[in-house]
């Protein structure tokens, strides 16, 4: 599941509609919507994001948040470390191997570190 897929599922369930009903309303197949919710599809197009926001009649701030979740939801992230010191490549590969085994508390610690670094910029 991706952050975007989770958000869409919560919105859909809050509205009390099935995947089939929503898919028909926004012009996609139920299979595609299911794959999107379960993280088996990458980031949806801007056009589809707008249709989803319109379907739920969400205000601009909420739509912006939904769009940001879509940006952070590609299920197959790629880290390009070409041209960087070897330690960065080694770290990226180790993270790739271990990500599925990280306990939630470790993930939260790593997220906190990244947030602190992001704030420095």
Cβ neighbors of 48 (< 8 A, separation 6 or more) are 26, 28
The domain spans of the chain are 3-71, 86-120
Distance CA 106, CA 110 (A): 6
Structure tokens of 103?
Answer: 């306990």
Instruction: List the beta strands (DSSP E) in 22-90.
Output: none
Other CB atoms within a 10 A radius of the CB of residue 51 amount to 16
Tens place of pLDDT per residue across the chain (121 aa)? 788 999 999 999 999 999 999 999 999 999 999 999 998 888 889 999 999 999 999 988 888 999 989 988 877 788 899 999 999 999 999 999 999 999 999 999 999 999 999 999 8
State the fold for domain 3-71. Answer: 434 Repressor (Amino-terminal Domain) (1.10.260)
């Amino acid at each position: 599941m991706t952050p975007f897929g989770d958000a869409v599922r919560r919105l859909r369930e809050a509205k009390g509609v099935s995947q089939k009903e929503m898919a028909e309303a926004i012009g996609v197949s139920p299979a595609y919507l299911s794959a999107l919710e379960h993280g088996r599809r990458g980031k949806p197009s801007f056009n589809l994001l707008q249709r989803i926001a319109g379907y739920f009649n969400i205000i601009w701030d909420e739509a912006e948040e939904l769009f940001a979740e879509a940006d952070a939801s590609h299920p197959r992230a790629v880290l390009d470390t070409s041209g960087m010191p070897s330690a960065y490549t080694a770290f990226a590969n180790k993270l790739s191997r271990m990500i599925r085994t990280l306990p939630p508390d470790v993930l939260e610690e790593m997220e906190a570190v990244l947030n602190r670094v992001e704030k420095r910029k």
